[in-house]
Structure 1
Amino acid sequence: MSDDQNDVAVADGPAEVDPGTRKPRRSTGRRITLWIGIGMILAGLGLLAYVAWQLWGTNWVSKRQQREITSQLEQDWANGQGCDKFCPKGEASALIRIPKFGRDYVVPVLEGVTPDILAKGFGHFEESAGPGQIGNYALAGHRVTHGEPLRHMPDLRPGDKVIVETRKVTYTYVLDTDPNDLIVSFTNVWVVDPLPTNPKGGVQPKQVKGQRLITLTTCSEIFHTDNRMISFGHLVKSTPKTAG
């Protein structure tokens, strides 16, 4: 074989590659996979932390606020202070006790139903009647998270009491409807009307004008939902509070 043929054979053969010039494809791919895995783990931990905060953290904060508001309200009342009627939005106006939920159950009522208000206790629909007044004293409360004052609302039954304490009077209402029997969309605002009338002809208060009603509203499910669980009741007793 001639030298020229040898040159051609060498040229046509597999070229040798300098190991230093090879691209570390496998190493790069492994690094990418590693970082993707780390990112997914961090995202999962972040989601778990968010859920934990919603389920336990918000309850801890809200229940502490409820205790502080309750204590301050009782102190104000003892000193002859605090609003009685036409309370400003966001201000505490009453205390709710539901014996079915235990002897120590007491939750403040604040004027309005914005998220920050509902995080501190019950919210009072401002356009609805006040405690003991003719019309419908309509309240909203969380079923889960943010203190969850109505977590056990499905346990309530007709005949259970809802006691509303204000600066001058304590009002006792009795529930007339089972909350499990009426689930409505949050857009069904008829439930907070002065005399709620079910457009479908289902569960509703007695259709008698001049009643002094109470309405409890909360989420129908433990987790987020646009549906609301409703219970109606009526006033059975008003007890003026004596000085001291």
Structure 2
Amino acid sequence: MRRVTVRPGGRGPGSWRAGRGRGLLAWGLWGAAELVVTLGLVLLLLVVHQLWWTNREARQEAGRTVQALQREWGPPPSAVPSGAPSGEPVVPEPLPSATGAGTTRGSEAPAARQSQSHSRSQSQSHDQAYAVLRIPRIALTAPVAEGTSKGGVLDRGYVGHYTRTAQAGRAGNFALAGHRNTHGEPFRRLDRLRRGDRITVETRDAVYTYTVDKSLARTAPSDSGVIAPVPRSNITTSAGYSEPGYYLTLTTCTPEFSSRYRLVVWGKLTAMRPR
């Protein structure tokens, strides 16, 4: 019978297998650590892209668009139109009594009739900016384009016009949407608006002034009543209006960095200056 002698300090078969196991474990841990670091860097780059780069790119494009519109239109009117009292803007006539959400043919105010042909032509130009929205309270100047698609409108830093709502200055509800976070985030500070704040919408033909009147801090994305011709929440039925008028609706996601709910701000048309 052969005798196996194990010398002191030598390795037997069990020691070799244990050493190999420890090596494989170390290799696995090292690979997992590299994978975690790589994933962390990728996630960091995605966050930087979303929170910084998309804002930078969208704001630059939106700024260039506003400048291009201003060069095309010329400066906004500073003088009072003939026939208006000195220092007083032109205010649309009150709406006649009407049933339902909209107005009947021929019931539009002069300001609405002046912009009707322009509104019709612009409503066919999707993705193209045709107005400039200004909100001094939150230092916002942003182009307005037709439609609310992300790629064509909102992700470019634009404010989007809900296509089935009224145009600026017309009877009904001029409803707009904008990002609250990323891609220029024009409506980031929409929650800071207060009753009485001034909002202007400038087009090729006129400058319309709306005054903030009401807000709804939170509602569901499916609450279509907030952009109806007579805006009124279908969920919080006490929020909104009951009579036809000249309304402005601003909508955005809430809370920040979430699209779970919608924040809504309403205003009323209080003045118009034709070009």
TM-score, L = length of structure 2 = 0.75
Other-structure match for 2:155? 119
Q: Indicate yes or no: 2:229 matched with 1:157.
A: no
Aligned partner letter, 1:168: D
> Could you say what secondary structure the match of 2:51 adopts?
helix
Alpha-carbon separation, structure 2, partners of 1:92 and 1:212: 22
SS of 2:167 mapped into structure 1: coil
> Is the alpha carbon distance of 1:101 and 1:18 closer, same or farther for their aligned partners in structure 2, counting shifts above 3 Å?
closer
TM-score (norm 1): 0.84
1:230 aligned onto 2:226: no
Alignment of 1:42-191 (within 5 A): 42-78=38-74, 84-86=118-120, 87=122, 88-102=125-139, 105-116=140-151, 117-120=153-156, 121-177=158-214, 179=215, 181-191=216-226
Distance 1:224 1:208 in 2: 33
Counterparts of 2:118 and 2:170 in 1: how far apart (Å)?
A: 12
Over the residues paired in the alignment, what is the CA RMSD in angstroms? 2.3
SS of the residue corresponding to residue 70 of structure 1 reads: helix
Q: Which amino acid aligns with 1:100?
A: R
CA distance in 1 between counterparts of 2:212 and 2:189 reads 15
Gaps of 5+ in 2: 75-116
Moved more, 123-132 or 69-78: 69-78
Unpaired runs of at least 5, structure 1 = 1-6
Pairing 1:215–2:249 present: yes
Structure 2 counterpart of 1:95, one-letter code: V
Q: Which has the higher contact order (CA 8 A, sep 6+)?
A: 2
Q: Indicate the residue corresponding to 2:25 in structure 1.
A: 29
CA distance in 2 between counterparts of 1:139 and 1:235 reads 14
The amino acid of 1:84's aligned partner reads H
In structure 1, the residue matched to 2:230 is 195
Count of residue pairs brought into register by the alignment: 223
Moved runs in structure 1, 4+ residues, more than 4 A? Answer: 16-19
SS of the residue 1:90 aligns to: coil
User: How far apart in 2 are the matches of 1:201 and 1:233?
Assistant: 18
Q: Aligned partners of 1:26, 1:144: CA distance in 2, in Å?
A: 48
